[in-house]
Amino acid sequence: MSLDGQSFAVAAAFICAVQALASFYVWHVQLRDRSVIQLALSATIVAIGATLGASRPHLPLVLTHLTASACLVVGHALGASAFARFLGRRVPLTVLVGLSVAAVAFMTFFLFVAPRTEIRIAIYSLSVAAYSLIIAGLLLDVPRGPLRATHWPIGILYLVHAVFAVIQAFSVLVQARDDIFAPGWIQALWFIQSIAVVTLTFTGLVLMTTQRISIELDRQASYDMLTGALNRRAFERLAEAEWSRSVRHDLPLSVLVLDLDRFKTLNDAHGHDAGDVWLKTFVDMTRGLLRREDILCRYGGEEFVILLPQTGLEAATYAAERIRRSVDGLRIEGSSVSGSVSVGVAEKSAGQGDFKALFTAADQALYRAKQAGRNRVAT
């Protein structure tokens, strides 16, 4: 029993058309992302190519062979570009366009000048392999974290697609096949996995999009939108976890409470825009002075908190003083606005029952620093 290649092509064209309509719908009603519209166009062009290819011998040769192959190649190139845009990566346009132009030029030559069907099929298959490897590389090259759960399966799928495309290319060359729809188990596997790629690509995009929206919502729920520092709610959750770890393993833990001196006066004199710039400048500078494990939070208004895991009072005081010196006289670029910061420092002690007690101790130290004239560190 042999499987009909043309039926597979019709099925692939139908699935691509459905995927294109679904992508257009997602783009129109929810996600106005250029990568989604590019993927929709990619699926549309591939659907046209598959339909033309399945129409032989009812349509002219230039449509069923050359135009169909060109559409399939260009559709894959656009798909690679869509994935690159979606992932915030960049694939040089010269690479994508160059591969497409070269593939179509060689297929034209071996269709009209030196007719060799097996070479045209091999060229098409190798171009698909190249684009699939680009997409696989983009999806597999993600840092450790939750993104791998959605990106890697689709990346592996495209890697397998590239392997099948290479096998297809060598198979037609060795067997000198003159028809891409000629029956055979390799040909059947090629069409089956191609349909799987087309079907699962949109599913994967939906999952990746949902995950990206979820991560963005989580970021908005956990971080201060102006400065990028943790917000109070997220900080308190992490602080309790660090407190528990410190108590469980008998590790030192210190906290800094910082307050920008006379910030209201700065806002009144220079406007809220200048105040916002000053807050962002302060956070960017402070973050550069901290370790990776330190936790910076905008606790409210011009007040900030820094949690220093595995840090004693002496080291915490040194860190606070380094921040104070860096802020003292710091000016916003292109402005005469400058400021200072007062810092209260406290270390976990046996008499404190929870993190709130540690925070209160640091907050009291901050009060003493401000009472003593501001722009200083108190412990």
Q: CATH number of the domain at 286, please.
A: 3.30.70.270
Does residue 6 carry a pLDDT above 70? no
Does residue 68 carry a pLDDT above 80? yes
- Between the alpha carbon of residue 317 and those of residues 282, 321, 323, 359, 371, the distances in Å are 19, 6, 10, 15, 18
Q: Verify that 294 and 366 share a domain, yes or no.
A: yes
Residues 6+ apart with CB under 8 A from 208: 86, 150, 151, 154
CA distance 98 to 74: 11
Enter the tokens of residue 341: 């910061």
For 335, counting Cβ atoms within 10 Å of its Cβ (0-12 exposed, 13-18 middle, 19+ buried), the class is exposed
For 39, counting Cβ atoms within 10 Å of its Cβ (0-12 exposed, 13-18 middle, 19+ buried), the class is buried
For residues 271-293, give the mean pLDDT: 86
Q: Verify that 209 and 264 share a domain, yes or no.
A: no
What is the structure's pLDDT at 1? 39
Is position 115 within any domain? Answer: yes
Interior/surface letters 153-180, b for 16+ CB within 10 angstroms, e for the rest: ebbebbbebbebbbebbebbeeeebeeb
Q: For the segment 100-126, what is each residue's pLDDT rounded down to a tens digit? A: 999 999 999 998 899 888 898 899 889
Spatial CA neighbour of 42 closest among 69, 15, 16, 78: 78
Q: Verify that 43 and 14 share a domain, yes or no.
A: yes
Q: Verify that 210 and 267 share a domain, yes or no.
A: no
Q: Are 27 and 37 in contact (CB under 8 A)?
A: yes
Which domain-ending residue is among 192, 222, 252? 222
What is the per-residue DSSP string for 270-281?
A: H-HHHHHHHHHH
Q: For the segment 91-104, what is each residue's pLDDT rounded down to a tens digit? A: 888 899 999 999 99
Which domain-ending residue is among 183, 203, 222? 222
- Total domains in the chain come to 2
What is the structure's pLDDT at 197? 81
Does residue 218 carry a pLDDT above 80? no
Q: Verify that 57 and 89 share a domain, yes or no.
A: yes
Where helices occur in the chain by DSSP H, the ranges are 5-29, 34-54, 61, 68-86, 93-108, 117-140, 148-175, 185-222, 232-249, 263-270, 272-289, 313-327, 355-371
Q: Verify that 93 and 236 share a domain, yes or no.
A: no
Is position 117 within any domain? Answer: yes
Is position 330 within any domain? Answer: yes
Q: Verify that 112 and 211 share a domain, yes or no.
A: yes
Q: Verify that 145 and 240 share a domain, yes or no.
A: no
Which domain-ending residue is among 222, 249, 277? 222
Q: Verify that 176 and 197 share a domain, yes or no.
A: yes
Strand 377-378 and strand 303-309: the pairing is unpaired
Torsion of CA 296, 298, 302, 304, to 10 degrees: -40
Q: Verify that 89 and 186 share a domain, yes or no.
A: yes
Is position 204 within any domain? Answer: yes
Q: Domain of 242?
A: 232-378
Is position 227 within any domain? Answer: no
> Full-prediction pTM beyond 0.85?
no
